Amino acid sequence: MDKPIVLVIMDGVGKGDGGSGDAVVQAKTPNLDRLLSECPHTYLKAHGTAVGLPSDEDMGNSEVGHNALGCGQVYSQGAKLVGESIENGSLFRSATWQSLAENAKNKAMHFIGLLSDGNVHSNISHLIALLKQAKAEGVKKAYCHILLDGRDVPATSALEYVGQLEDVLAALSGDGCDYAIASGGGRMQVTMDRYEANWGMVEKGWQTHVQGIGRQFASAKDAIETYRAETGCIDQDLPAFVIARDGQPVAKIANGDSVILFNFRGDRAQEISLAFDRKDFDKFDRGDYTGVKFAGMLQYDGDLNIPENYLVQPPVITNTLTEVLCGAGITEYAVSETQKYGHVTYFWNGNRSGKVDEALEDYEEIPSDVIPFEQAPAMKSKEITEKLVEAMASGKYSFLRCNYPNGDMVGHTGVMDAVIYAMECVDNGLGQIIEAADKYGYRVLITADHGNADQMTDTKKGKTSVRTAHSLNPVPFIIYDKDTNWVIREGQYGLANVAPTIVKMMGLTAPDCWEASMV
């Protein structure tokens, strides 16, 4: 290897149309502009089949994106994996499903998860399939605790999904069966925190879903319409609500009930899973809770056994880049802030917690602030840059990687001015990394895991609205090396081609199962 490599992942930064809704172009980014004008570069597919999702209509996300970046391969992921298990019946033949369904015949079955067809955390079609199978197997009582999206789907689309679900529940009810929505709230207000950034969100979800504590409404539709009128919030930010009949919650989650978290993505599923699963849980007071039969759609962390029971076996990802580099004795460094720390470690390493080789790898997490991202769009970009440059200066590592979360996390807020500033902060970091590369002798590769900041608006039928979801746009791949004139070969590439390119630059041999190198 002629020189060490730094990989910079600009989370949520794709190639947009260059219009007024493209915050990447609207921002002042002299460093990124210079790199794109002067350096070898191409654009990578970062969604759909390129990252193991069912179709090219499916948006990429940070989890499958980092799996592909760190593994050099494409695996069936998320929605596709669950969809296959439902279609072939293996989910319903699993011992976990059979145990929960049998238990619920004398108790109740509860479903918690994100209600949309965004295919990033969940899919409403999976929930409907589970509900229908529960009815077929004799479950008399089933209740849905819905988390409103507006992030991976249009910002105010919740009523469409609620209507679809209510129709299914009505058809399954009657003849002694009660199938209903019991509680809910916006995904950024209750239940779906990640990386222990805000346990208060999870506690609020627990109070809402389990204890039935909260503002009561006659229906989910009533709750959504009332909150919208009172607060003006988009779906992801709507407060928690409890559905009531005659002044009493439709259904609390009682001790001994069966509970399924139907999200398939892991990052925002782990904390609520721990609250249900762990006897020694101490993050908040669970009241008189003694336990339920709980399962996740997938196991969200295999090494940490979160949760203990799950419906669908996750993909077993082997031959990761980290395994290859550790096998060659290459020293590694990874850094990001809490919001994306798991992406450059756990997801990067093929859904594996911990390290492949403690002696060769150093990971550094910078705690994220618990504050709305639009209020502090710089996030921890300054600190990430400082830590990365410090690691470069040490000369200790031959492969370094970092993730700047700004384009994605601020992009999800839909606040254009904040996203523009976020991009300018990332660009400032890029400039400092390039300066350090020149000073200390590094090659720098720059890419992203999916788009977001590049498409902040949608225009349909002449009406423009705020977009908070990921985009389907390709992402850049740039090679900065002042000493070598690299040539990117002709071809169509995706995120899984990055790892083979890194290995080729290092003079190592890639596993046969990997995609091709771009150089």
Q: Which amino acid is at 197?
A: A
| Under 8 Å between Cβ of 476 and 448 | yes
3-state SS class at 384:
helix
Distance (Å, whole) CA 176 – CA 181:
17
For 302, counting Cβ atoms within 10 Å of its Cβ (0-12 exposed, 13-18 middle, 19+ buried), the class is middle
Distance (Å, whole) CA 290 – CA 276:
9
3-state SS class at 441:
coil
Residue with tokens 């082997």: 318
Q: Which residues contact 237 (CB under 8 A, 6 or more apart)?
A: 150, 186, 188, 189, 231
At residue 62's C-alpha, the angle toward residues 159 and 517, to 5°, is 140
Catalytic center residues: 62
Beta strands in 237-287 (DSSP E): 241-245, 248-249, 258-261
CA atoms in the 13 A half-sphere facing the CB of 185: 25
94: Cα separation from own chain's centroid: 26
Largest CA distance in the chain: 76
Phi-psi label, residue 175: left if phi above 0, alpha if psi -120 to 50, beta otherwise: left
| Under 8 Å between Cβ of 80 and 279 | no
Q: Which amino acid is at 231?
A: T
Distance (Å, whole) CA 63 – CA 494:
15
CA atoms in the 13 A half-sphere facing the CB of 137: 21
Distance (Å, whole) CA 400 – CA 391:
8
3-state SS class at 470:
coil
